[in-house]
A and B are shown apart, each in its own frame.
Chain A
């Protein structure tokens, strides 16, 4: 009985947070200026498409000692990779924990191509990730229904709700409770991972979700995690379930 009361109390206090109801869920796209929206929507003006086109070339290039390309195993990405990014991160049987798309690409390099892993945030890894994620463009985010992911997603949620860094702000303080308002000159979006890897005007390049999260962590004067850290993957898992139903936009453009 006491246990029940405890559980109920915990559930109640976490419900008290202002989670965004599905009808109000909006991509970062909706908070951008019409010019930046146009830049994203028109593929001939979207700078991220340069990475996607480069990725198409890399897809069929032989790599590593096995002299195999991605296409050797997966053939036509437009068919085999369709919808994959919309359901990642997925459960990885080898490490028994979630793996993100970039991690999965590196796993294929090591085990199938016999090639060294690409560094996180390297141009090659971003290029391949952008090409694979582009195959889900326009598809709704549909998180994998695998119970083994639950505890990692909950860990991601805990990081999202925790007050971090010297400024003691949580992701939720901004992205659940104050989206639509302005932080300095920027409109606070809801923080959905719909468009990654994406072209950010401030970066003048394509970057990953982890690079974006790093920016928010540094912003609250918190020590960011190392690129590739399991915490980032757990946070991504939570963000993807929070964004369920929104459409994939890779390669998006953001200010």
Chain B
């Protein structure tokens, strides 16, 4: 009996913490996850590293530098709450970079990194602002541009 109770307690804890951690998404874009990567470019698009270099620094659009530092201008305006992106192209493959931007929470449900390529299911408790409702943060093209750029950081 005692063991059963402990077991019950543990599952309940797990259930409640997962429930609060999982980000509800309504629509999944078509892409295939293999291991910890999305091997194929989204929608078969090819990325442009120069566009990605400019996008990564746009704090109101890509938001990357709010959290991450990296080899970009204005280091005093870069965040310190996520890993430094210096050398990330040597650490991760294109496919690994892609999955991390598309949906980091598939790898770590507790991650604070926003989900860039899913639609957040809205509700009275989630309160997605009207301007941002029913759309992902970035487009497939923008994500491919970022992947192309991040690969050059070696």
Contact = CB atoms under 8 A, between A and B. Distances in A.
Contact of A169 (B59, B112, B132): B112
A35 to B, nearest CB: 16
Nearest to A158: B125
B45 interface: no
The CB with the most chain A CB atoms within 10 A, among B78, B81, B114, B127, is that of B127
Contacts of A218: 129
B77 A185 contact: yes
Given A5-B8, A162-B125, A181 B112 contact: no
Contacts of A222: 126-129
Contacts, number: 92
Interface in B113-131: 114-115, 120, 125-131
Contacts of B137: 166-167
Contacts of A165: 120, 126-129, 132
Interface size class of B (residues with CB under 8 A): 20 to 34
A173 interface: yes
Interface string A43-62: 00000000000000000000
Contacts of B17: 13, 16
A183 B129 contact: no
B28 interface: no
Contacts of A181: 79-81
Contacts of B33: none
B65 A166 contact: no
Interface of A: 1, 5-6, 8-10, 12-13, 16, 161-169, 173, 178, 181-185, 188, 217-218, 221-224
Interface of B: 5, 8-9, 12-13, 16-17, 20, 23, 59, 63, 65-67, 76-81, 112, 114-115, 120, 125-133, 137
Given A6-B12, A166-B120, A184-B77, 6 more contacts: A9-B13, A12-B9, A165-B127, A168-B120, A178-B81, A218-B129
